[in-house]
Amino acid sequence: MTNTTLKKISEVLGVSISTVSRALKNHPDISEKTKAKVVELAQTLDYEPNANAIHLRTNNSNLFGLLVPTISNYFYDSFIAAIEEDSRQQGYSLIILQSGDDPSVEATNLKICRQNRVSGVFACITPYTKDMQPFQKMYDMGIPVVFFDKVPDYANCNRVCVADTAAAALAANALNNAAAKKVLAIFGNPAMSITKKRLNAFNGALQPQTDVTVVHALDRNEATKLTAQHLTKQHRPDAVFCMSDEILTGTMNALQNSALKIPQQIKVIAISNGFFPYLYHPTITYVETSGYRLGKLAFSKMMTCLSGDTNTAELSLPCTLISGGSL
């Protein structure tokens, strides 16, 4: 039987609807005998509570909103896996919304979260997010927001990031140790705080005599195009640094088309979640930034917020250099 209601259960047992409702909530005013009858019939009829009604009554859905640019990205895929795993263990469900790096879609997604009375939001902002008012509405409703990976510049919020400065410095030092002389460094959107942090740390850690060319790619295709352009120059680079997995896949596409030998003719290093470097031969040396471990850290911070802690903080996830055969 579908769409079983409290009224149906009350009619079958000859008790009031309020008695059925309280029995299902294990209310102390209801006798154990009546509770047993109500629960048994509810199970027999496959009764399920009306989730919308519960949300309205409690103003809490036991639901988290998770905003990402796209789910077709291994870093975000592993981040989502960690959040979903911990949410399920703590009795929460997850609604996953993609922005496509569009601020208007991001604002609409936040509205969906508010309408569903989510318990909290995990948000990776778009590169073009300027108006933070949609996020402020979440705070005004008492809904905590934990920003991750791509986060706002202002300090008065909860931010969970990989150790961007340390990751870029590790990559630069690895190039120093590999005696790279002319480096093509491909970074992401220059407006993002994550790009700014990584670029400053990378330039600061490179040896002063290293000739470095910095370019910015917004996606995989741009990374392919930029890499190919610099490979055709008379003084082509002897090493390429890729700020992300998306840039790495674009760069490797151009390098494979060029038939240059890695690392004999050109060296490669990336900041990566740790999946894509193993798809190439030789394996790409990379600085690991784990989406899965970042998800675990973000969920821990969300639980702290829900426990009543109103202190904001920026948490960083340590990174590690993983040696491959590309340097």
Q: What's residue 50's pLDDT?
A: 59
Residues of the chain with pLDDT under 70: 1-4, 48-61
pLDDT tens digits for range 198-240: 999 999 999 999 999 999 999 999 999 999 999 988 889 999 9
CA 181 to chain centre: 35
User: What span, in angstroms and rounded, lies between the C-alpha atoms of 46 and 108?
Assistant: 35
Q: What is the CATH number of domain 164-288?
A: 3.40.50.2300
Q: Coil, helix or strand for 256?
A: helix
What backbone torsions phi and psi does residue 136 show, to the nearest 5 degrees? -60, -35
Q: Are strands 320-322 and 285-288 parallel, antiparallel or unpaired?
A: antiparallel
pTM of the model: 0.75
Q: What's residue 106's pLDDT?
A: 96
Contact 283, 270 (CB under 8 A): no
Phi-psi region of 186 (alpha: psi -120 to 50; beta: other; left: phi over 0): beta
What backbone torsions phi and psi does residue 211 show, to the nearest 5 degrees? -85, 110
User: What span, in angstroms and rounded, lies between the C-alpha atoms of 47 and 6?
Assistant: 8
Q: Coil, helix or strand for 292?
A: helix
Superfamily, domain 59-161+292-317: Response regulator (3.40.50.2300)
User: What span, in angstroms and rounded, lies between the C-alpha atoms of 223 and 216?
Assistant: 8
**CATH 3.40.50.2300 location in the chain:** 59-161+292-317, 164-288
Helix (H) or strand (E) holding 285: strand 285-288
Largest separation between any pair of C-alpha atoms in the chain: 90
Query: Bridge-partner residues for 94, per DSSP?
Result: 64
Could you list the beta-strand ranges (E) of 70-210: 93-98, 120-123, 145-148, 158-162, 182-187
